[in-house]
Structure 1
């Protein structure tokens, strides 16, 4: 009789790949030979294509026998047919059988059948495409895209299959191993283990500490996708070091798990799998190179992915062998085995309960699984060819066997099955990729391309120890400050390029094309270009034709601003082509697309590049944008800013008319905007001062109002740092504007705060001070600036803050709870620092004295004494640790803000370093104690470096005999590499053994007895475990330090919140110059920023003309929130105030040297309060007059 087991079924499943490949190729040929003819029948409103015609007109396909059995039987049962039947009959009979159900259920059965039998459902695409064509008729321009009928994720999955080996094997492996072990471990085994460990508390303590340290180390990677390569490396690193330490502790054999056997077997299978799969991939790439396989097969898998697959295969084989061993083959029929297994599952016992009632006693179930599912596939008599190879295993017969059996070990057949499945799946996916990607038409390809999710970047990791951008930022800042500040200034270069200063003032720097409008809406935002999600959330709000606000009265709409002002810091952490394009331009272009004819790579020779048919900037009715640079934009000497802002024409759908880094805008009703460039000096240069000063004297009237826009809010920063900056800017505001500056707006601080003047004995130079840096960068605290109250001698009061002072202080608590999760790359810096601090203290040979104390109090005293002695020893004899401590002390002192006195800086720095030193020394002693305990209990350092390999060779001879001498021949053929690779791999895996043996040699003979290579190996092995222990602790201490400093001392406001990388609390300010000249100010905010986005179906379905500008669209933004409230629906007003227009004097005396004379006639009448906004206004008559 034919023998059936899991191995047979798995091998039999290999034919599925061949059947699927044949099916897809056959279907492709049929599509080319018999193109489907549309037959529109059924409901005319839905335009459904006749399914019987659509599925049977081309070809009748038989069901492959090796497809998914359960789903296949379900469809066959619903259709009432046998195994071999045409697909069209299945669908037709399914429809007849299920006609009494909802039509959606019928469609579901058809879709399942189509997807199951036609290889990723290429005909399903035709179905939906034809439906859309019928729905929209012959109007191709208004054709609704595929998204109207099918979710884009499903289409993307069907036609663009993901890479078949994603970086999720580690999580699946851990889950499978845990479930498998719990399945085979009964409550009796657990009870035995508890009784054994209860007799000695120290083992419980070691288990608890080990599990705790490894849990906290791996916590940032649990349930969170963090840079797949690093995340998967960390997970496998944790498994490696944790298992290597765990198998030395007593005792998992009580649970039926022999870790030593599993580890040695795992490493052997792992090496074999790596060699085999590497050779396979090399051969496959060679076949691709010569053109035997499809070109799409050239997508090469990452080597790390191959490593993970080998690990998964090895773990599966080890789990099987540890619980089943080499079972004798069962000669029963497969049907009898299956029936006995199912009867055991579902038949009730004498007491009326099934086996589930006695779930913990599963010996019979385990025996059935091992003997039925994992039975051997045969013996040497069945496969004579294999008799020459060492694949025999012993027969499990409780010692009654005379010798090893000739039955083939199921371990080998299981490994071969997994390798075969891997190869078959890889070949099928690569070979059918051409058929899955090429039949798409151009329109289909464009639709699928649009359905991709946005490629937004995450928030900048400011505490990353591996970010090249941060090192470049530090280098650029160092060069800019030390070489260019005071020596070279791009603003002077801009002034020198203006050959005719008068023309420059009127053309390159002054823009008056908006001043003739009756009213004007404009927006202000700053500090964009950090996280893509937050920047796009703000840009999406800015791009909307109007924002509907929910108030007590009916909906209040704020139209889109005709002008957008951006207050600097366009991209973080440094200005470069990559950061500007990905962090700044990409979100804004997704929110409001540039014109169809615009080429982003082209440089604008003549600005502004207005659309065709418009002769002057006054005629352009679309949104425009003016930008000033921030300190981050100056890190490269303003090179990137000039290239992308001053020499480009469009920021998405916003026109960029400006040519210099500073400008002046003349707005309606006597309002002006001064855009100042403060550079890295925090002040304007002399040429900039001259331009604005002359503008104040010549063109700004006495009753005009000016909004001064700068990047840095020097009123807050000067108060915080207790210094004075921006003297030239203050001179311009105080002595030239003379009270006409009604509002100052700035960014740099990533929150919203508004202060308004309360009283002043001196003339008030500025009425309102507004900070809004919530354009996309990480959040800054507000409670640090709570006590600000004076500026230029005037008293100011805080009118609005976002977030509030209380919320801001609560957010800072995240430094204790989330610092490492937000800044996992800080592990590299923190772990290395801690290891340097204790480098010279390894090993502690006298640490055993702590365990010799009788009481816990005595052990604690001995522990503290050892800790103090280690610290004194470091100061007296150490070089590396002492130097590291000194450098850390100096760095900590420099890290404390200079606003504090030197004594307080020194005190805070010393306390900070002491906390780290105490923690690192405690961790060092705990690691040494754990090793010493294992050595004293003969769990480590028993027989040299190769303990695991020697034990494995002994077990290999017993369990995997070599009657033909194959191992000796393999050693000869590989020149000794075969046993040497496995030997040293096992030694490298067994890190605790290497540490213990080398530590014993040092304690017995001194450090001088070690060679340089042995010393490097010892410290490297110590570092691998000390890094796991130290990284959670260093992050906890550093996060606590930041929390204490920001909430108690109000220092480190930048460092303490950049660590949290908060993308929420985003806002922008919308201004409205009314018809009567007043300025309304609305600050709109979004509390929570979406983390994922999908294609907006309304944007996708909207009709678009070929040359239509995006600001004319009703739905201009491409992406909408995938989950949670969209920013359009969750936006709210956090601040609203009105700045009244300055009333003109009744009898103004004209200035003779003015080039423009204003004769103002003010109307007043008896009016009602309700009509005040419509009737109170000045009427101005402009008369052009010549110079004197």
Structure 2
């Protein structure tokens, strides 16, 4: 039996049947599905044009403005995970590890965090109650159905990411920010707004902003954090959690870091506190930037710790969503960027890329897997390619020597339009000439492939069969073959475009790689130091063994494939 709501007993499931679970385990989101591509492009456009009209942050002024005190003990273990609400296998694998009483990495046992901070995108692709239930609440409830006996109930806080924002935060606030709090399995929620401040032991603070896509900080949020700032004393150290790694994104779009810089200058700097660590998700990998003038004082083989002198900038978005590239990350960045527009911008400092997971070499090798992973993972996308090419081929064959007919014009226009949309319409941030050049080039290659297909089709005997047999035969035989060939053209385009920093996200989203997940386990020690343990999991489990007779607080399923957590790099100690 399990106690889902800290009081209502329900039977433990014996299978992954939704009727037993109370939710439906979802497959990973098919990011290149035609419908999803169109919806994603529309959402990006609507968010850019009308996002302010959906902003519910101003209304949160009616919610309680609380600072959450976790400073009672001399030390504290706490966790950070982000980008988690995707397919069941990857999401539950990470939830399972986070729920374990302890994990062993590098010969050291690390206890479960008493606080769990989620860094954004708790659900994909769209925020609504059903998606949260199937892709987030259900898996986490299954991983820790009730609070562990004898231990304090772990507390859960969440930052909204861009996917949480697609409904204007409605479902997010219902899930995480109820006045009376609620339970998600064995975790208890406490926050009352989409942003929060945690007072931690040894004069540490964790401050989480809701500054989606570099947007402004609303007045209620500024008022809240100015009240928090009155409690921060000179010399206090601060962990700043943001919805996206603006320090990286600002290298391409300088405005991305403006909001964070304003917050640091106007709210944090007057307190005398020091931001020692900045955390984010959004990019589905692990990366850490350290000040360039700080020597890398560690040896991977020595089992020691990384010297955390100077501010650390960590992206850890490996909670369950598809893997994102690391080989395109800049080796050095300036934060804030030198081209920042605010007249009072802080002086920029240079940071170097200290570590990525996976490594840049491994990421580059994984990128080439697009040729076989894309066709395997995106059946509906292949169906679209097959249909488009079959119609274009039939239009070309029916042209009977004429250069351009209405059907040919319409199909060529559709092909070029779709490739332009793919190259520029889905790409967030600045759209440069290279987006349109690459999109048109890709479109012309697809048209050339169709011309070649039409030339071959004219030589086949079914060309002369009575109507409608040629069209039916083309759909049954020509369509699947040309779809595979066209998919290889798309894969080649993505590989080339990715080298030019165009469609890098789509290059990896189309592959849907579920491995290389990560989270952070952090410890504030009695001496006041903060140690960050970056934990990686190369492979998630895809087979699950029910545990119907286990105690009610144990996970509903044990991994059938071993989950092997390991250190991404030596612990980072900030003293």
TM-score > 0.5, shorter chain as reference = yes
1:781 aligns with 325
- Equivalence for 2:297: none
Aligned to 1:654: 187
Match of 2:390 in 1: 835
Deviations 1:1009-1049 (A, max 9, x none): xxxxx6x6754553333312311111110011111222x32
- Distance in 2 separating the partners of 1:713 and 1:766: 18
2:176–2:190 CA contact under 8 A, matched in 1 = no
Consecutive unaligned residues in structure 1, runs of 5 or more: 1-140, 142-444, 499-503, 597-610, 612-618, 846-869, 932-991, 999-1013, 1105-1109, 1111-1115, 1142-1188
Deviation at residue 732 of structure 1 after TM alignment: 1.4
Q: 2:203 aligns with which of 667, 670, 681?
A: 670
- Secondary structure, in 3 states, of the residue corresponding to 1:1054? helix
Partners of 1:914 and 1:728 in 2: CA distance:
41
Of residues 217, 220, 242 in structure 2, which corresponds to 1:710?
242
User: What SS does the aligned partner of 1:834 have?
Assistant: helix
Aligned match of 2:458: 928
Residue pair 2:89, 2:540 contacting (<8 A) in 1 also: yes
Report the CA distance shift for 1:488/1:450 in structure 2 as closer, same or farther (over 3 A). closer
Q: 1:640 aligns with which of 155, 171, 183?
A: 171
- 2-side partners of 1:581 and 1:736: how far apart? 36
2:56 is aligned to 490
**Does the 8 A contact of 1:778 with 1:1063 survive in 2?**
yes
User: What's the secondary structure of 2:34's corresponding residue?
Assistant: coil
Q: How much has 1:1119 moved relative to structure 2? A: 1.3
Report deviation, 1:722.
Answer: 3.4
Task: Name the residue aligned to 1:1087.
Answer: 538
Matched, 1:749 2:283: yes
Q: Distance in 2 between matches of 1:920 and 1:541?
A: 49
CA distance in 2, matches of 1:1061, 1:622: 35
Equivalent position to 2:441, from 911, 919, 922: 911
| Count, aligned residues | 530
| Aligned 8 A contact 1:677 1:683 in 2 | no
Q: Which residue of 1 aligns with 2:259?
A: 728
How has the CA–CA distance of structure 1 residues 1102 and 917 changed in structure 2, closer, same or farther, with 3 Å as cutoff? closer
**Unaligned segments of structure 2, at least 5 residues:** 2-9, 295-307, 337-347
Q: Which has the higher relative contact order, 1 or 2, with Cα contacts under 8 A spaced 6 or more apart?
A: 2
Query: In the alignment, which residue of structure 2 is the partner of 1:1120?
Result: 558
CA shift, 1:717, in A, is: 1.1
CA gap 1:840/1:471 in 2 versus in 1, 3 angstroms: closer
> Greater strand share, 1 or 2?
2
**Counterpart Cα distance in 2 of 1:490 and 1:905:** 33
8 Å CA contact retained: 2:332, 2:350: no
SS of 1:724's partner is helix
Separation of aligned partners in 2, 1:905 and 1:446: 54
Distance 1:765 1:550, change over 3 A: closer
Contact 2:147–2:153, Cα closer than 8 Å, also in 1: no
Give the superposed CA RMSD: 2.8
Cα distance change, pair 901–1090 in 1 and its aligned pair in 2 (3 A): closer
> Which residue of the other structure, out of 76, 90, 102, is the alignment partner of 1:546?
102
Distance 1:681 1:791, change over 3 A: closer
Aligned in 2, Cα 1:1103/1:727: closer, same or farther, shift over 3 Å?
closer
Could you list the per-position Cα deviations for residues 716-763 of structure 1 after superposition, in whole angstroms to 9, with x for gaps in the alignment?
Answer: 1111x2332242331111343236111100000000001111339xxx
For residues 440-472 of structure 1, the C-alpha deviation after alignment (integer angstroms, 9 at most, x for no partner) is xxxxx968x5255775321110111356xx665
Match of 1:557 among 100, 109, 115: 109
Q: Deviations over 1:1084-1115 (max 9, x none)?
A: 1110111111124xxx55455xxxxx3xxxxx
Check 1:755–1:479 CA distance in 2 against 1; reply closer, same or farther (3 A cut). Answer: closer
- For the 8 Å contact 2:245–2:280, the answer to whether it is kept is yes
Distance in 1, Cα, partners of 2:151 & 2:98? 19
Aligned partner (choices 486, 506, 509) of residue 1034 of structure 1: 486
Within a 5 Å distance, the mapping from 1:991-1006 to structure 2 comes to 992=462, 996-998=464-466
2:358 matched to 1:800? no
1:929 CA displacement: 0.8
Q: 1:759 to 1:737 in 2, by over 3 A?
A: farther
Task: Measure how far apart 1:887 and its partner are.
Answer: 3.7
Kept after mapping to 2: 8 A contact 1:674/1:708: yes
Task: Report the equivalent of 1:532.
Answer: 88
Q: Provide the rounded CA distance (Å) in 1 between the counterparts of 2:38 and 2:366.
A: 28
Q: What is the CA distance between 1:526 and its match in structure 2?
A: 0.3
- 1:818 deviates by 2.2
**Do the aligned partners of 2:211 and 2:259 also contact (CA within 8 Å) in 1?**
no
2:529 corresponding residue in structure 1 = 1078
Higher helix share: 1
| Cα deviations by residue, 1:1099-1141 (Å, 9 ceiling, x for unpaired) | x55455xxxxx3xxxxx2221222x32x1xx111112344434
Residue 572 of structure 1: CA displacement? 0.6
Cα deviation for residue 821 of structure 1 reads 0.8
Q: Indicate the SS of the match to 1:785.
A: coil
1:235-246 counterparts in 2 under 5 A? none
Pair member with larger Rg: 1
Find the residue that maps to 2:449 and give its secondary structure.
helix
Q: Distance in 1 between matches of 2:571 and 2:465?
A: 75
User: 1:625 maps to which residue?
Assistant: 156
Q: TM-score, normalised by structure 2?
A: 0.85
CA distance in 2, matches of 1:799, 1:645: 34
1:668 & 1:712 partners in 2: Cα distance? 26
Conserved in 2, the CA contact under 8 Å of 1:741 and 1:766? no
2:60–2:220 contact (8 Å) kept in structure 1? no
> Residues of 1 paired with 2:233 and 2:497: CA distance?
48
- Given the superposition, is the C-alpha separation of residues 1136 and 685 from structure 1 closer, same or farther in structure 2, using an over 3 Å criterion? farther
